[in-house]
Structure 1
Amino acid sequence: MEELAAAILRFADSQTGLSPYITPIRTMAVMRTDHPKPPAHLLMQPALCIVAQGAKWASFGDRQLAYKAGQALVVGVETPSVGRVVEASPGKPCLVLAVELDLAVMRSVADDMRSPPVPRQEPALGVFVTDFQGPLSDCALRLMRLLDTPEAIPTLYPVIMREICYWLLSGPHGSEIARMTLGRGPSQRLLDAVHALRDRFRETLRVAELAAIAQMSQTVFHRHFKTLTSLTPLQYQKRLRLLDARRLMITSGMNAESASVAVGYESPSQFSREYTRMFGTPPKRDAMSVAVFENQ
């Protein structure tokens, strides 16, 4: 971890602007934080978030997961989250390497394994924390070193990522990784319903339609969806709408009413109430404060 932290810090110090820093590997980013930060809302993608120094937590619905140096947050399903840096200082910043997980590569590696892990059958949260030591830590360090030779990235990056997938699948959480990524059976049908909601979150979708995609009764679907994401389908959709509305106001300069209509709200007052409840500040004031912060 010390070598990995040094490599991340060296790269971060060479960058301009604010963290996170996009690397020459487009599916990999580096984060450096010198102070504990307030909670931040985001939409998590399937990824590894490796902490080389410092500590963070991430919450998914009513579940909160803490992870620190030597650990990684493994995200297997696209889901709204709230994250926070809790341990950082100018002398010892929080250093994180985030690597996108390609689920197709994960499935390919599993197919090549002599004894692939057996997916867990019982539903579980699609996110977990694992120790990131030994071979996995070595892979992360090699990814950072690869940034020094950009011409080697197209050849070597896929090889290192396959190795990461192998160690994850063969490790102590292999059955959990397999359940989230191998794309077979009920788990895949549930993920298909999650993806349908993600792609059509601006529309009015009935739970019955999503349950039909998952080939489950509405009661079973509702229970399994919440187990996987720690949110009900309605909560999941609502958070996607509010996150997208915030993005539209900050990046496109939309006013609150236009943004609310764009993401599927019929009532601006309901949008304002739910936005304030989620972000702690009314839409217009929140968008202005974020814009001021980013321009400082």
Structure 2
Amino acid sequence: MTRMPETAKILPFPPNGAARGGAAHARPIAPPDDRAAAALREAVYAHIDAGGGGEGLFPLPAPEVHVIRAMRHVPANRQIYRPSLCVVVEGLKQIEFGDDSLEYGAMECLIVNMEMPASGRIVGASPGEPFVGMTIDFNLELLREVLEQLDQRPKPGKHDGPSIFVTRVTDSLADCLVRMLRLTKTPEAVPILFPSLMREVYYWLLTGPLGGEICKQLIADTHLERITRAIRLLRERFAEKLRIEDLAEAAGMSPSSFHQHFKTLTLMTPIQFQKQLRLMEARRLMLDNAANVTAAAYQVGYESTSQFTREYSRTFGIAPKRDVLERKALMAAVTRR
């Protein structure tokens, strides 16, 4: 099975501060007070300074959690977004999916509730006013455990479009993130206390205003859960030729119903989704494994290099060879700073 790229692998700068120096737009709850925002900013900056300062990715003890700081505009980065929470502490981000887009700024967060291709970009960042954020990739097993322990479980929401939302960061969630960041100063406590803080994050999300949407990926036989099963098959076998009937069977739907719900939730057809998986894996192979264009194309299932080049250029807005050269040059320039 071919591995799909992790987010950190395709960001335009290195991790660990190596450079030194149809969706829901509503925000249904009050923003955190100034004290909560100030405490989170202080904790995030302390974590960045402890990691060497500068810009880049600053991971926490759990592999699914990291802090990011950027001091300049970061162009659109096409990737498969996995179920996750993306919090903006300072600055502004934008995500584009299909013909829609969402912007979220300081003390707002993006909740992605299913795997889907999208383009994210940092649109508010400078050396004087950097972008600072924190992301948590959902651990679905732990999220399900927390859901099952709730006395009053959220009722599945009625939203029937792409499962991606922007909302405010509550005081309770901000406080939990602060304690998570501060815990890194006491490494011996991390194995014991960090899992409980992750559970607390999931508790606040599931009991918050979007809990009914978040839980849909965990409840059997919702449309979201069924389509997620098919996406899992697509990810495992994206380099193969797959029939709609096979994907529909994985989802437990008729082919016509599956096609309809898949497009409603992802804003693309299963074939288009598979193409996105192939192209993003090809990009990873060229960046990380130094594969040439022809080798990358064939490894992800293309039989024609010219077709691969056309579809890559159409998706990323740049020819594959030039894209790889420009991304490597950008990473090298940032590392030298």
> Into which bin does the TM-score normalised by the smaller protein fall?
over 0.9
Seen in structure 2, the aligned counterparts of structure 1 residues 122 and 68 have a Cα distance that, compared at 3 Å, is closer
How far apart, in 2, do the equivalents of 1:60 and 1:32 lie? Answer: 23
Which of 74, 78, 86 is 2:123 aligned to? Answer: 86
1:202 CA drift (Å): 0.7
The reply on whether 1:146 has 2:183 as its aligned counterpart is yes
Structure 1 stretch displaced more, 276-285 or 215-224: 215-224
1:19 CA drift (Å): 0.9
Aligned positions of 1:191-202 closer than 5 A = 191-202=228-239
> Is the CA contact 1:50–1:73 (under 8 Å) kept in the aligned structure 2?
yes
CA RMSD of aligned residues (A): 1.7
Which of 34, 38, 44 is 1:8 aligned to? Answer: 44
Which of 140, 146, 155 is 1:118 aligned to? Answer: 155
Unaligned runs of 5+ in 1: none
1:84 CA drift (Å): 0.7
The aligned residue for residue 77 of structure 2 is 40
Which of 140, 143, 150 is 1:103 aligned to? Answer: 140
TM-score (norm 1): 0.94
Seen in structure 2, the aligned counterparts of structure 1 residues 177 and 202 have a Cα distance that, compared at 3 Å, is same
> Is the CA contact 2:88–2:104 (under 8 Å) kept in the aligned structure 1?
yes
Aligned positions of 1:5-84 closer than 5 A = 5-16=41-52, 19-84=56-121
> Is the CA contact 1:119–1:175 (under 8 Å) kept in the aligned structure 2?
yes
> Is the CA contact 2:72–2:130 (under 8 Å) kept in the aligned structure 1?
yes
1:32 CA drift (Å): 0.4
1:204 CA drift (Å): 0.7
The aligned residue for residue 19 of structure 2 is none
Structure 1 stretch displaced more, 122-131 or 133-142: 122-131
Q: Secondary structure at the match of 2:75?
A: coil
How far apart, in 1, do the equivalents of 2:117 and 2:46 lie? Answer: 31
The residue identity in structure 2 corresponding to 1:207 is I
Seen in structure 2, the aligned counterparts of structure 1 residues 248 and 164 have a Cα distance that, compared at 3 Å, is same
Seen in structure 2, the aligned counterparts of structure 1 residues 121 and 200 have a Cα distance that, compared at 3 Å, is farther
How far apart, in 2, do the equivalents of 1:104 and 1:295 lie? Answer: 38
1:217 CA drift (Å): 2.1
TM-score (norm 2): 0.83
How far apart, in 1, do the equivalents of 2:55 and 2:107 lie? Answer: 24
The aligned residue for residue 15 of structure 2 is none
Number of aligned residues: 296
1:239 CA drift (Å): 0.9
The residue identity in structure 2 corresponding to 1:128 is F
> Is the CA contact 1:2–1:52 (under 8 Å) kept in the aligned structure 2?
no
How far apart, in 2, do the equivalents of 1:272 and 1:118 lie? Answer: 46
1:184 CA drift (Å): 4.5
1:170 CA drift (Å): 1.2
Unaligned runs of 5+ in 2: 1-36
The aligned residue for residue 279 of structure 1 is 316
CA deviation vs aligned residue, 1:15-71 (integer Å, no higher than 9, x gap): 357512223332211110112221112222221111011110112222212111111
Q: Secondary structure at the match of 1:13?
A: helix
Seen in structure 2, the aligned counterparts of structure 1 residues 205 and 56 have a Cα distance that, compared at 3 Å, is same
The residue identity in structure 1 corresponding to 2:167 is T
